[in-house]
Amino acid sequence: MLKQYIIYWGMITLLGIVHVQELLSILSVPLPFYITSVLIIVIVYFLWRKLPLWLSDLGVKWNGTLLLMQALLLLIYASVEPSWVYFGLFMIFIGIEVVRIVWAKQLAAFSRKVQQFEEQSLQVNETFRQVRSERHDFLKHVSAIHFLLENDKVLEAKTYLDGLVDGYEETNLSIKGERGIVAGVLHQMYRRAKAGGIAIVYDFEIPLSSLPLSDQYMVTLIGNLLSNSIDACEEWQKSSDTSGMITMQFYKRAGLYVLICKNHSGIIPTDIVDGLYQVYGKTTKNGDHEGLGTKLIHDIVKDNQGYLDFVYKNQEFTVKIKIPSIR
């Protein structure tokens, strides 16, 4: 992936330098080649930092085709006398680039929706498989407890019941009052956190499904919030050698739905904090992460006339979201 980006931005820089240099030749603005080069490099660097680009979604074939079209425009410069035709060639070069960006963005969004749908299906299926399994075995558990009590094995019955309640609590916390798609996400994230040794608490005064959001928005919002929290806790556990904890609260006050997610987190650099939930590419995670999840959360809140705030203090990261119940 990194190699593709280097090749792409390198080619765009070279092509941009040639196009701009030729365009300046008809505007009677004689700039030295090195000044044009520095100018284009600065512009490309700015775009690289600010512009999200999903090259992999277009693939090598279409990226190569678009770059070839942009390169073929250079042949026209060699066969046409300097004129305003150069301006048209430059605009075609820009137009092809706009097509690439918009097309790649649409394909990326479609790919995310397909992946999200597949994940949702797996989560819902797993949740209700768990519910059916527990329901199937319920009478067996009752019979076992009944047998222990009939034989005056009260302590053994209590121990057996405590273990049973702990297992049911995991499922009940995730599904009570929730739409199937939301229950699937909550249950899957609960199990993922537990598997990583992370304590997780759902403190909902009302079902999370009460949020006036579509299923797609709900899955993206809750999934990214909890996934980011779990990732942060896993990183924190590695450095502190202490179990992490996640708390998600949800309630309604004065016409506002309030969602609060807290988790342990390692030290976050100031430059990362300043850009979180605002631009793509800002992430608190180590490794190969694009920082896309936080921006998606911000966009969902903004699209629903909500308010988002976050605080990092004493190795705890808190995200607070308010969404109006009536819009």
CATH of the domain at 324: 3.30.565.10
CA distance linking residue 99 with residue 150, whole number of Å: 76
pLDDT digits (tens, 9 = 90+) for 161-172: 666 655 555 555
What is the rounded CA–CA span in Å between residue 138 and residue 132? 10
Above 50 in pLDDT, residue 114?
yes
How confident is the model over 85-98, as pLDDT tens digits?
888 888 888 888 88
pLDDT in tens, 42-90: 887 777 766 666 666 777 788 788 888 888 888 887 777 777 788 888 8
Number of domains in the chain: 2
Q: What is the average pLDDT score of the chain?
A: 76
Q: What is residue 289's predicted lDDT score, i.e. its pLDDT?
A: 41
Rounded distance between C-alpha atoms, residue 111 and residue 107, angstroms: 6
Considering the domain boundaries, does residue 319 fall inside one? yes
Q: Provide the β-strand partners of residue 253.
A: 256
Least confident of 9-18, 127-136, 188-197, 284-293: 284-293
Instruction: Mark which of 112, 135, 168 sits at the end of a domain.
Output: 112
Same domain, 202 and 315: yes
What is the sign of the dihedral through the CA atoms of 282, 284, 288 and 294?
negative
Q: Any idea what the Cα angle at residue 238 is, between residues 233 and 241, rounded to 5°?
A: 95
290 domain-assigned = yes
Among 58, 83, 112, residue at a domain's last position:
112
Residue 32 inside a domain? The answer is yes
Check whether 187 has a pLDDT greater than 90. no
Name the residue range of residue 256's domain: 197-327
pLDDT of residue 250: 92
Residue 322 included in any domain:
yes
Last-in-domain residue among 64, 79, 112:
112
